DNA sequence: CAGTGGTCTAGACCACAGG
DNA sequence: CTGTGGTCTAGACCACTGA
């Protein structure tokens, strides 16, 4: 791993462990660079990322400070959990599970090598037996060897956690609206040209490892997206 | 001004002028560095900021590309700020500003007394003169007396902050997809039955005071919603 | 004034993509 | 293989802060 990422990770740990507390000034760039035995430019890259992630705040001529704990919130809840919370009985129909070859834009997002294969897992998610969403996950085979041996009608999150020890930390999603084409309409038992919510993005596990890419469609009348946005402008 | 900012500005101009078009690969870092007469590290700082601002996308081993022009809503940024960051000229047309009486489901959400009146502010938001979204805000008159005296073509956030001292902390939004009915289609210059993103929710200011309720529609091909979800289930 | 972060240089080696 | 972006170094000068 890149040195600056090691440094970033270490500093991040120190912040969450309370070695550097909220509002504290951390040591100067030159001091830290010497302590870690890296050049100042390298150390700065670590600090800059931590600043972008909202952990640090720099003040010219004064120093670098740990930000107060305004962290983003909102639960990363799987489809299954969301439905259960609403007392709807979730079910899943497997549409397709297969291995596919390199797909460039996905490899780019997940930062995997160009000739890694993926599992493509396409599932129809239902609530009380009514189709609600069509979820397609692309996950590198090396991350989850033999995942096709699992019962994929279960919660995907649970399989990743209990089967492989991953822990989902965050997702970066893009949300848009689209119309159902004939394929989507037929699979989801929706009217052609009805409005669908399209959610696509990458989910990350421990150490900010990009774990899988997902592209999902939901019937908007049945499944809305709730988001809490925390400020910091 | 810092050299890298000059470079960034120049590259940004070239993108908006179409010298580098959407999807184009721009010259390599080494080439550009030489062309501008700066070191590669300096040039990279310009490129990195342009990447963060969403203008460029880098692909290891392949090159740096101009991104397509989709807009993304990020964190708690007002519409105006989002557009400015992408060097699109924002404009606003006032559709309607009036006082309305008690609306039960809104009063419920904002937790105000049942006979408080609201300002209803309906505005068409445009980028480079093209309609992108139709935003309707309901805000209790007691929270912002005489807000109709302000120039409401400006950023609503700025008016609330500078005119009334509010500070927006968070929003709780619900996102869904819908079809444009004839009224929406006509106001937004969209096709009838095209897919729209509907965003509705409450924005809170200091001390978690529910400040206003908003119901907005966006053309999904022009304005996408970007969300970072932090875990902890 | 001394110390801080902000910027900048001119190299270097690496891993990766594509031919 | 060549060319790309990713990372890294060991210096340097600047503008700013606070004493």
The 3-state secondary structure of chain B reads CCHHHHHHHHHHHHHHHCCCCCCCEECCHHHHHHHHCCCHHHHHHHHHHHHHCCCEEEECCCEEEECCCCEEECCCCCHHHHHHHCCCCEEEEEEEEEEECCCHHHHHHHCCCCCCCEEEEEEEEEECCEEEEEEEEEEECCCCCCHHHCCCCCCHHHHHHHHHCCCCCEEEEEEEEEECCHHHHHHHCCCCCCEEEEEEEEEEEHHHEEEEEEEEEEECCCEEEEEEEECCC
Structure tokens that stand for A37 in this block? 């035995």
CA-based nearest distance B173→chain A, Å: 5
User: How far is it, in rounded angstroms, from Cα B28 to Cα A2?
Assistant: 23
CB-based contact A177 B171, cutoff 8 Å: no
B115 CA from C12 C1′ (Å): 72
Query: Domain B71-226 carries which CATH code?
Result: 3.40.1410.10
Residues of B with CB under 8 A from a CB of A: 41, 52, 59, 72, 75-77, 81, 168-179, 193-198, 220, 224-233
DSSP A150-171: S-TTS-HHHIIIIIH-----EE
Q: How many CB pairs under 8 A join A and B?
A: 135
For residue B157, the model assigns a pLDDT of: 86
CB B187 within 8 A of CB B124: yes
For residue A232, the model assigns a pLDDT of: 41
Could you state, in order of their start, the residue ranges of all structural domains in chain B? 3-66, 71-226
Measure CA of the first residue to CA of the last residue in chain B; give whole Å.
Answer: 46
CB A43 within 8 A of CB A4: yes
pLDDT in tens, B62-78: 899 998 766 655 555 55
In the DSSP assignment, the letter for residue A67 is: P
User: How far is it, in rounded angstroms, from Cα B26 to Cα B122?
Assistant: 41
Residue nearest to nucleotide C8 (CA to C1'): B42
* List of residues 6+ apart from A16 with CB closer than 8 A: none
CB-based contact A177 B172, cutoff 8 Å: no
Helix axes A29-36, A3-17, angle to 10 degrees: 110
* List of residues 6+ apart from B49 with CB closer than 8 A: B4, B8
CB-based contact A179 B170, cutoff 8 Å: no
Nucleotide minimizing C1' to CA distance for residue A5: D7
pLDDT in tens, A128-174: 888 999 999 999 998 999 999 999 998 898 899 999 999 888 888 88
Per-residue pLDDT for A43 more than 90?
Answer: yes
Phi, psi of B172 (to 5 degrees): -115, 110
Q: Is the CB of A220 under 7 A from strand D?
A: no
| pTM of the shown model | 0.80
pLDDT truncated to tens, each residue of chain B (233 aa)? 889 999 999 998 898 888 998 888 999 999 999 999 999 999 999 999 888 877 898 988 889 999 876 665 555 555 666 666 666 788 899 999 999 988 878 888 888 887 788 999 999 998 888 999 999 999 999 999 999 999 999 888 889 988 999 988 788 888 889 999 999 999 999 999 999 999 888 998 887 789 999 999 999 888 877 777 765 43
Q: Residue A29, SS3?
A: helix
Average model confidence (pLDDT) for chain A? 85
Q: Residue A5, SS3?
A: helix
Find and list the nucleotides of strand D having atoms within 7 Å of a protein beta carbon.
Answer: 3-12, 15-18
- Signed CA dihedral, B99, B101, B104, B108: sign only: positive
The alpha carbon of residue B150 and the mean position of all alpha carbons in its chain are separated, in whole angstroms, by 21
CB-based contact B197 A220, cutoff 8 Å: no
CA distances from A25 to A11, A62, B76 (A): 13, 9, 27
For residue B79, the model assigns a pLDDT of: 65
User: How far is it, in rounded angstroms, from Cα A138 to Cα A174?
Assistant: 16
Q: What share of chain A is helix, strand, coil (3-state, %, to 5)?
A: 30, 35, 35
Structure tokens that stand for B118 in this block? 């609201």
Find and list the nucleotides of strand C having atoms within 7 Å of a protein beta carbon.
Answer: 3-12, 15-18
CA-based nearest distance A19→chain B, Å: 22
Which residues of chain B (28-47) touch nucleic strand D at CB < 7 A?
28-31, 40-41, 44
User: How far is it, in rounded angstroms, from Cα B178 to Cα A179?
Assistant: 9
CA-based nearest distance B96→chain A, Å: 26
pLDDT classification of A73: cutoffs 50, 70, 90 = very low
User: How far is it, in rounded angstroms, from Cα A181 to Cα A191?
Assistant: 9
Beta bridge partners of B92: B125
Structure tokens that stand for A72 in this block? 């983003």
**Cα-based angle A204, A206, A209 (whole degrees, multiple of 5):** 45
Q: Which fold has domain A3-66?
A: Arc Repressor Mutant, subunit A (1.10.10)
Which element (helix H / strand E) includes A3?
Answer: helix A3-17
The residue-averaged pLDDT of A82-86 equals 64
Residues of A with CB under 8 A from a CB of B: 41, 52, 71-78, 81, 108, 157, 167-179, 193-198, 220-221, 224-233
């Amino acid at each position: 791993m890149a040195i600056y990422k090691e440094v970033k990770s270490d500093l991040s740990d120190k912040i969450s462990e309370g070695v550097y507390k909220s509002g504290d000034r951390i040591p100067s760039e030159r001091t830290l660079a010497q302590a870690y035995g890296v050049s100042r430019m390298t150390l700065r890259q670590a600090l800059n990322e931590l600043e972008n992630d909202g952990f640090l705040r720099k003040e010219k001529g004064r120093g670098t400070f740990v930000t107060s704990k305004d962290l983003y919130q909102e639960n990363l809840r799987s489809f299954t959990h969301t439905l259960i919370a609403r007392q709807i009985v979730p079910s899943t129909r497997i549409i397709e599970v297969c291995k596919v070859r390199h797909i460039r834009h996905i490899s780019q997002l997940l930062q995997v090598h160009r000739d890694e294969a993926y599992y493509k897992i396409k599932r129809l998610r239902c609530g009380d037996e009514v189709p609600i969403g069509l979820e397609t996950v692309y996950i590198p085979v090396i991350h989850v060897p033999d995942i096709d041996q699992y019962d994929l009608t279960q919660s995907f999150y649970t399989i990743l956690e209990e089967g492989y020890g991953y822990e989902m930390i965050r997702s970066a999603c893009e949300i848009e609206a689209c119309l159902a084409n004939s394929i989507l309409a037929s699979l989801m038992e929706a009217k052609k040209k009805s409005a669908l919510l399209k959610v696509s993005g990458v989910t990350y596990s421990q150490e900010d490892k990009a774990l899988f890419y997902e592209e999902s469609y939901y019937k908007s009348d049945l499944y809305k997206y709730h988001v809490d946005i925390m400020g910091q402008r």
